[in-house]
Structure 1
Amino acid sequence: MAELNGLPVAAEQLQALALTNYGHFTTLRVDDGRVRGFSLHLERLERDCRTLFGVDLDPARVRALVRRMVPDRGAAVIRVTVFDPAIDIGRPERAVDPQVLVVRRAAGTLSPPPLSVSSTRYVRDVPQVKGVGLFGALHQRRAARLGGFDDALFVTPDGLVSEGGTWNIGFHDGERVVWPEADCLPGITMRLLQGARDHRVAPVPLADVPSMRAAFATNAAVGVRAISRIDGTELPGDHPVLDSLRQAYAEVAAEPV
């Protein structure tokens, strides 16, 4: 299901989004009409809209548009994309009337199997923004999968672990959770876990990964997912901290849409 500004969307209305890839989005999981960190998702949309379009986005309007797509019961994943259908590729500064596209799809399991990831030197464009231009990230994911891994793990030019293409990464160093300090998207699930668990934010050189006791990926669609291999380093997919993090995330109070 998809709606643009609360109305059924036609293919021609998505042409600018498909051809320019200029816009931003957030993805959230709805369970029985409630969303963990919904206010943070709205804050992200407001912040990124000012960054990309220089205008304010009405969070009450976005909430109303999302509410239209929320099922009465059960789980769903909803993506909210903000873009200007009138954008001119030669004059992008004139794109100042962003519209709201809301798409709903079925939700997957909150307990997917562990990931194996291959590190690659890559930094997303404007990494603090959840932008729609996924070419680079998907190209890195494709290369990793062709190499026998599930996904790619991005590393900065100076060798610091940053993020995955659609997820944040965290580690456990034997004492506490460590979130990498690097240019990356401040993920909603990561922020919720930071508020629920003792942690530290510090640079994580790729060379230090073998010393870590566990690693995990986080995003709104799956919550906490174990990472069982980073390049040639095997990590336990059943480390006790993983269940502890999942429990902490499950206990985060969800907000009504």
Structure 2
Amino acid sequence: MADVLMQIDGQPASAADLGHFALSNYGAFTSMQVEDGGVRGLDLHLARLDDEAVELFGVPVPEATLRERMRQALDGRSGRFSLRVNLFSDAVSLRAPEAVVEPRVLTTLSPLASPLTTPLRLQSQAYAREVAHLKHAATFGLTRARRQAVLAGFDDALFVDAEGRISEGSIWNIGFVQGEAVIWPEAPMLAGTGQALLQRGMADLGLDSETRPVRLSDLAAFDAAFICNSATPACAVAAIDGHPFGPAEPLISRLIDAWRSNPCQAI
């Protein structure tokens, strides 16, 4: 197949179709990894799309329609792919924002995203995503934050809100390890599908989990840290600013096992 295949409402995306999408970032999406026609946590992605459609457009896209659009994107292909599903509408614009309408569905099928494996050096930045609970298409702030981190010699940016609480990273959630427990930060952020899959599988592997506020001043209390998203079940954090964390290979293996314990759900 071509490197990237884009469809809108099940049909090849034309330049005219993509015009509004290119000129407006009012919309939202979810990204998933497909394995032979199934997705781990597909129910999470479908629930996210439902919430996004209702909040941004006032009308949900029926689940049957979303599944059909995903199947049309795959077109019977077996193997592993990355699939992104965007919701947008050319009926909603800055000049005419009031339309209540079922959004259109843009699917983008591409080669499987490689998981991160090298421990990350993170730069903390005072930043909070707009409407943080939504995976919306307005990614200017995320790209700028990550660019600033990389130009400063780090791998990525870790966000700290106005109250000093650690929240999330550019495209991932973060977890901290204290003994046999994983501590998830409590702050406005996106509830990640990767994080949810880990939480579903951790209890069976003897790992406890809790959510509470975490600040940069708390880092010395943790044994390790890791990031996770839909493409990376778990990747160790080497350091945050000048605070280093110890090796986390055994923990990362256990977390990946927790993630893999979630079966693929057929599209």
Partner of 1:175: 180
| Contact 1:84-1:95 at 8 Å conserved across structures | no
Partner of 1:75: 80
**Quick one: distance in 1 between partners of 2:116 and 2:95?**
45
**Quick one: distance in 2 between partners of 1:114 and 1:50?**
38
TM-score computed with the length of structure 1 as normaliser: 0.95
The aligned amino acid for 2:98 is: E
TM-score computed with the length of structure 2 as normaliser: 0.92
| Contact 2:58-2:101 at 8 Å conserved across structures | yes
**Quick one: distance in 1 between partners of 2:28 and 2:181?**
33
Partner of 1:165: 170
| Contact 1:161-1:206 at 8 Å conserved across structures | yes
Secondary structure of the 1:108 match is coil
- Is 1:118 equivalent to 2:128 in the alignment? no
Secondary structure of the 1:92 match is coil
How many equivalent pairs are there?
257
**Quick one: distance in 2 between partners of 1:86 and 1:50?**
15
The aligned amino acid for 1:15 is: G
Partner of 1:186: 191
Q: 1:111 to 1:56 in 2, by over 3 A?
A: closer
| Contact 2:122-2:241 at 8 Å conserved across structures | yes
The aligned amino acid for 2:211 is: V
Partner of 1:101: 106
Secondary structure of the 1:94 match is coil
- Is 1:244 equivalent to 2:254 in the alignment? yes
- Is 1:51 equivalent to 2:55 in the alignment? yes
Q: 1:13 to 1:165 in 2, by over 3 A?
A: same
Partner of 2:69: 65
| Contact 2:36-2:79 at 8 Å conserved across structures | yes
Calculate the aligned-residue CA RMSD, in Å.
1.4
* Gap regions ≥5 residues in structure 1: none
Q: 2:230 aligns with which of 220, 228, 236?
A: 220
Give per-residue Cα distances to partners, 1:203-227, cap 9 Å, x unaligned. Answer: 1111112321111111111221211
Work out the percentage of aligned pairs sharing the same amino acid.
39
Secondary structure of the 1:137 match is helix
Partner of 1:29: 33
Q: 2:94 aligns with which of 64, 76, 89?
A: 89
- Is 1:205 equivalent to 2:212 in the alignment? no
- Is 1:231 equivalent to 2:235 in the alignment? no
The aligned amino acid for 1:250 is: R
**Quick one: distance in 2 between partners of 1:96 and 1:149?**
42
Give per-residue Cα distances to partners, 1:94-148, cap 9 Å, x unaligned. Answer: 2624100000111133453222110001110100100000001111111001001
